Amino acid sequence: MSKFSEWFHNILIEAEIIDTRYPIKGMHVWLPQGFQIRKNALKLLKSILDEDHEEVLFPLLIPEDELAKEAIHVKGFEEEVYWITHGGLTPLGKKLALRPTSETAMYPMFALWVRSHQDLPLRFYQVVNTFRYETKHTRPLIRVREITTFKEAHTVHATSQEAEEQVERAVEIYSSFFDLMGIPYVVTRRPDWDKFPGADYTMAFDTLLPDGKTLQIGTVHNLGQTFAQTFQITYETEDGQHEYVYQTCYGLSDRIIASIIGVHGDEGGLSLPPAVAPYQVVIVPIIFKEGAQEVLDFCSQVKNQLSRAGIRVHLDSRDLRAGKKFYEWEMRGVPLRIEIGPREIREGKMVLKRRDTPDKETVECREDELAELVEDRLGRISSHLKEKAWNMLQENMKETDSPLEARDIIQEDGGVVSFLWCGDEACGKELEEQVHVDILGIQEDADGTCVNCKQKARYRALLARTY
C-alpha cells in the first residue's frame, strides 16, 4: 500500500466518512459525516443540472433481454453484471440484472416517449446506486461494487450537431461543478479502445491524486445513433419523415468524494472546501474556571448570528481540552475555526484559524460585520484550496518528446506527461506497453512527429498512471 493509499484509508475511518467493515467486499456504509459531504456535493451539482435537466428515477433492475439488445454495450459489461435468478424460493422466468449503468433501462422508455421533433431535446438525470462485479482490487469510493452515488444524465436530440453541442455543454457543467469544489482536472478525449461501450466517443475528466496517479472523475459520451437504432428511438421531422435520434450521456460517481478528500487533504487530515463541508465554521470556547458561562453565552450568540446568515456553524461546548477539539476539527477538515475566550470578549475580538493556512488571525468581533467577515474568509479558503490544487496539477504536468523520458518521469514523480501522437491504435498500444502506463486521451490537434512511430503527429496526448 502506498503512503497515500494508507492515508486515504485511514482518514476515511478516522473522520468517519464511511465504514469499510460491511461484510461484502467493495460495499461500504456512508456514515453521517460522509453522508453530509456527499449531500452537499450533490446539492451543488443539482443546482447546476436543474437549470435545464429534469430529474427522474428508473428501476434498478433490467430484464436480461433488454440488457442484451445492444451487443457492443452488453459485451462491455457482461463480466461485471450481478444477476438475480430467484424471487423468494421461485426461479425467475427471466433473469434480472442490477443496472451497471442505465442506458438499457431508459432507452426502451425513450422509444415510447419520443414521437415528434417537438418532443426534443430531452435532458434527464438521476442519482442512483449501480453495481459492478469488480474483479480487481476494490478501494473505498474509488473502485467499488456498489456505486452508491451514480449521477447519470441522458439526453436525446434531433441532430448530430445538437448532440455535439450537448457534449460541450456537459463538459462545461462538470467543469463548473469541479471548480466549485476546487478540484483540478484535465479533460481529454479517450482513445477509441478506452471509450464507453456503445459510444461514438468519450470525453473524460481526470484529476491527480497525491501519489501521482490520475483518477477518472467524470465522463461524457456522444452515443451518436447506436442506441437509437438498437432501441428504435425515432422522431417525426417537420416534413413527416421518421429519423433516428442522437444521444449523449454523462456520469459522475462516488469518486467526486474521493477526489475532494484526496486532492485537498494533508497530513492533518481532511481539508474541506466550504461548499461541501458539513460544518463550515466551528466555534471553540476557551474556558477557564472563572467566567465560563459568559464565554459560552457569547459563543452561542456568535453561533446564532452566523447560523442566521446561512453559514453551517457548530459550537463545540463539550467538556474537553481546547487542544483536543482543535485536533479533532482539523482532522475532520472544518474550513474555519473561531476561538473565543475571556480575553477576546474583553477586547471585543476573536481568533480565526483557517484549516488551509498555518497562521492565526485576531480580528474585531463586531456583530454587524461578523457574518460578512466569516463569509469573506470562507471565500478566501475556497480560492486558496482551488489555487493550491491547480498548482499541484500544473507542477506535475510535463512535456516530453521521448517515450523513455516519459516512462522515467512517471516512474519517478508520477503526474501527467504530454506528448505528440499520430493517433493510430496500434502505435498507441505499443507506446502504452513500452511506457507501462495508459494514454489518458487526446487534448488538441497538433503538428509535429509522433513520439513513438515518428510518423506525422495529429494530436497532443496525455500519459499517466491511472486508478
Which residues are at the interface with a copy of itself (CB under 8 A)?
19, 21-24, 27-32, 35-36, 38-39, 54-61, 63, 66, 78-90, 96, 98, 105, 108-109, 112, 124, 129, 131, 133, 135, 146, 148
Q: Find, among 230, 231, 228, the residue nearest to 243 by Cα.
A: 228
Q: Is 457 exposed, middle or buried (0-12, 13-18, 19+ CB in 10 A)?
A: buried
Residue 149 CB, shortest distance to a copy of itself, in Å, is 9
Q: Find, among 223, 234, 167, the residue nearest to 199 by Cα.
A: 223
Q: How many other CB atoms are there within 10 angstroms of residue 201's CB atom?
A: 17
Closer to a copy of itself by CB, 99 or 407: give it.
99
Closer to a copy of itself by CB, 81 or 284: give it.
81
Closer to a copy of itself by CB, 84 or 322: give it.
84
**DSSP letter string over 189-213?**
EPPGGGS-TT-SEEEEEEEE-TTS-
Residue 150 CB, shortest distance to a copy of itself, in Å, is 12
Q: Find, among 196, 200, 189, the residue nearest to 101 by Cα.
A: 196
Residue 27 CB, shortest distance to a copy of itself, in Å, is 4
Residue 98 CB, shortest distance to a copy of itself, in Å, is 7
Residue 75 CB, shortest distance to a copy of itself, in Å, is 12
Rg of the Cα atoms in the chain = 25
Closer to a copy of itself by CB, 69 or 169: give it.
69
Closer to a copy of itself by CB, 38 or 157: give it.
38
Closer to a copy of itself by CB, 59 or 379: give it.
59
* Rounded distance between C-alpha atoms, residue 54 and residue 386, angstroms: 30
Closer to a copy of itself by CB, 148 or 207: give it.
148
Q: Decide if 381 contacts 390 (C-beta within 8 A).
A: no
Residue 1 CB, shortest distance to a copy of itself, in Å, is 23
Residue 344 — φ and ψ, nearest 5°?
Answer: -60, -45
For residue 23, list its beta bridge partners. none
Residue 462 CB, shortest distance to a copy of itself, in Å, is 31
Q: Find, among 277, 279, 280, 281, the residue nearest to 261 by Cα.
A: 277
